[in-house]
Amino acid sequence: MAQGAYVLAFDTANEVVAVGVGRVGVQDEGSCAFVLAPCSQEGIVATKEVAAHRASNTVLLHEVDALLAESGVSKEEIAAVVCGRGPGSFTGVRICMATAKGMASALEVPLLGVSTLDAVAWNAWASGVRGRVLVAADAMRKEVYPVLFDIDDQGVRRLTTDTVVKAADAPSWVSEALQTFGANQDQGSALDAILGDALVKYADIFEPLGALADESLWAVSGRGLLLAERAGGNPATLLPVYTRLSDAEENERIRLAKEDGGKNLRTGVQLFEGSQDAAPLSYRPLDAAHAPDVAALESVVMGSDAWKASLVADELPRKDRTWWAAFDGNVLAGYCGGWIVDGQVQILKIATDPAYRRRGIAAELLALVASDARNLGATEMTLEVRASNADAQTFYERMGLRNIGTRPHYYSDREDAVIMSGPLPEARRDVAGMRLHVDDVAQQPANACEADSPRKADSSCEADSSGAANRSHPLILAIESSCDETAASVVDGNGVLRSDVVASQIDFHARFGGVVPEIASRKHIEAICGVCDECLDSAARSLGTSRLRWRDLDAVAVTYAPGLVGALVVGVAFAKGAAWGADIPLIAVNHLEGHLYANKIATPDIQPPMVVSLVSGGHTMLVHVKDWGEYVTMGSTIDDAVGEAFDKVAKALGLGYPGGPIISKLAAKGNPKAIGFPRALMHSGDLRFSLSGLKTAVTIYIQKEQQAGRELNMPDIAASFQQAVVDVQVKKAMVALDETGAREFCVGGGVSANPGLRAAYEKACKKRGVRLSMPPLSACGDQAAMIALVAHDRYKQGKFEDWSLDVKAHAPLDEAY
């Protein structure tokens, strides 16, 4: 990299978009250390701050372009991207980080992270503030993020780690922190300056603690971002600064800390195969109800160092602790607990029942504890192990830990302990601890122009400037992140799917009985780089070339609506950053239109007019497709969606999440005529749907059977419920075909994988002489292949977006975009 390269820095953690451009110092040949070092004041080229109340996703790239143009710096001269990691608004931090990840990936430069609070402190240093300084950022929910710093002429030194406290408790926190560092408050105020955007709301709380800095120094600035200490380098591994778990996880801890909180758990399972011969085991946070089981196992494996049940139970409600356990049914197979402090997780206990060893339980438990610790800001793991336990030390070494010293006479029998430390281990999955599915949809031969290809290209294959053969342009990479799947797919100019990669979060949501939006958003940030990297690699293999880079693409497409806003934000921001970095067009795609196009995977020649039934966890609707891009919604649900009803019935039966696959398997063994559940709106004369009444009827039936002391016939309940759903869906679909005169019928969405529904549609369409198209099972749920197929058409139509593209929670199919 040539001397005189630049660093681009930006932050959107709160209500301000801050951007900075700095000059990189003289580099050491063959080293990237020059990129990691902060800029000097003389190296700052230009900075800018713009107020952007809940609008950072729409203005960030415009401001970046403007500042680069003002500085006379081109994208090619950017040696590294620096982004604010927070803490701050969760959405704002993710917009910043996802954009930066996309940028750095496409530019093929390091991505470095800066604490937003450190950046505020460094800007204060550059403005002449000196002494002991408190920076407090607004954490919403009447909370603040406080950090103490010492600032002198040499620079800024952080004294405390990131945390979150109630604004009203901030004075007490400051007092305790100052005592830790020997401040003498009897000699007057121990704080020389207080700054941060928390002062906008809570100036009256902080004013008695010291002098409030000038308001111009409260927000993050481009200058501070360039001066602050940096960390990271790999876009895939850099994560936001979190100071707490999600609300769902915190509430779960409160519940599980109660003595009856873990009894009869039906949901919350994460299934892993320890070995081919092993039964599936479930992993979930440890609960107080199983504290005696932990103590019993402790006495077996820990001897005189065993903990009592009361000590284990006392650990569970603590916010700086995380405990996980492995279960075979309701039998405890192993457990692990950690204490998160000062950026590190100290493993307090870990053990596996001897009867369950060699199933990978300990590795999985460590990875789950590490995942929680990572979400609370930890980057390292430490533990003690007996000096004589060579097998355990070898195991920990395989997990990436190393021997860093000895604690003499540490154990009760005075045996020494070996101290081991290292980076947090990852769960044994492919991407950020998630199940990774590669090319379940795009199963094309390496040479799509071969004569026996099921989707032979219409035009001749060609070589590009890199010498890669068999490539047909435009090549478009599409991203899908509307709910709980992080997915990417590449489609070529002939509409051939060259790759399709999906990272499933289902295990992270199963224990809560449904998708938790906050967790979904966090996991998207963790997975998106790895998913896209694998997608590009898989597409390269399909194209017969050694490498496919972002700059080799012709466009980036992304789902912008509808869906969970926090999840959509990650995909859209990343796609915008990647398209910006690769200097290629950006394409927006409606998720629902993607489900329509999923039928092209199984039936490439399908053409409108047609009727499509969209049935999923969030949607139940009949759509008249007059032409591609011209849609009329003929009817939709007035309450629950079909998938939602399946989940709620499964929950009522104690079957876990997701409910659809479980119900369908049970239904195959039951009598669909056993119970006469209602068919709501079946003869309403319109095409509306209602599932709420059916769900209630099933719940009432279950309660009555239980009150009567009768054992539930689960297969019959499942089969009867499913048949009630199927009857209404098929009846209304046939009415829609009659009304439109269409001779093509298609289905889409996750519930379209239901065997009973598919069989009923096949029978009804055959009877009417209507052609039926259904996506392959792998393409029924959320994936990016369907988004790529929509993008293929939108590219040909020249329908591109600018950098102001934002997400929408709701976007009717009927509205053109």
Q: In which element (H, E) is residue 128 found?
A: none
712 is in an annotated binding site: no
123 is in an annotated binding site: no
Q: How far apart are CA 717 and CA 707, in angstroms?
A: 16
* E strand spans, 286-441: 321-328, 331-341, 344-352, 380-386, 402-407, 417-423, 435-438
Q: How far apart are CA 303 and CA 412, in angstroms?
A: 9
Q: How far apart are CA 83 and CA 99, in angstroms?
A: 9
647 is in an annotated binding site: yes
591 is in an annotated binding site: yes
Strand-pair category, 771-773 with 744-748:
parallel
617 is in an annotated binding site: yes
Beta bridge partners, 146, equal 136
Q: Report the phi/psi class of residue 391: left, alpha or beta, with left for phi > 0 and alpha for psi in -120 to 50.
A: alpha
Q: How far apart are CA 656 and CA 264, in angstroms?
A: 12
Place of tokens 């009827």: 697
Instruction: Pick the closest to residue 716 from 755, 675, 670, 676 (CA basis).
Output: 670
Q: How far apart are CA 12 and CA 345, in angstroms?
A: 29
Q: Is the bond preceding 562 in cis, omega lying within 30 degrees of 0?
A: yes
782 is in an annotated binding site: yes
53 is in an annotated binding site: no
In a 10 Å sphere around its CB, with 0-12 CB exposed, 13-18 middle and 19+ buried, how is residue 314 labelled?
middle
615 is in an annotated binding site: yes
Place of tokens 């408050």: 185
Cα torsion for 240, 241, 244, 249, to the nearest 10°? Answer: 20
The 271-272 sheet, strands edge to edge: 271-272, 281-285, 321-328, 331-341, 344-352, 380-386, 417-423, 402-407
571 is in an annotated binding site: no
Asked if residue 91 lies in contact with residue 153, where contact means CB atoms within 8 angstroms, the answer is: no
Q: How far apart are CA 149 and CA 333, in angstroms?
A: 45
User: Rounded to a whole number, what is the largest CA-CA distance in the chain?
Assistant: 91
Beta bridge partners, 448, equal none
Distances (CA, A) of 26 to 9, 228, 500: 19, 18, 42
The backbone torsions φ and ψ at residue 806, rounded to the nearest 5 degrees and listed phi first, read -130, 170
Q: Helix axis angle, 90-107 relative to 517-543, nearest 10°?
A: 10
353 is in an annotated binding site: no
Instruction: Pick the closest to residue 663 from 755, 595, 730 (CA basis).
Output: 755
614 is in an annotated binding site: yes
The backbone torsions φ and ψ at residue 617, rounded to the nearest 5 degrees and listed phi first, read -70, -20
Annotated binding site for Fe cation: 591, 595, 782
Annotated binding site for substrate: 614-618, 647, 660, 754
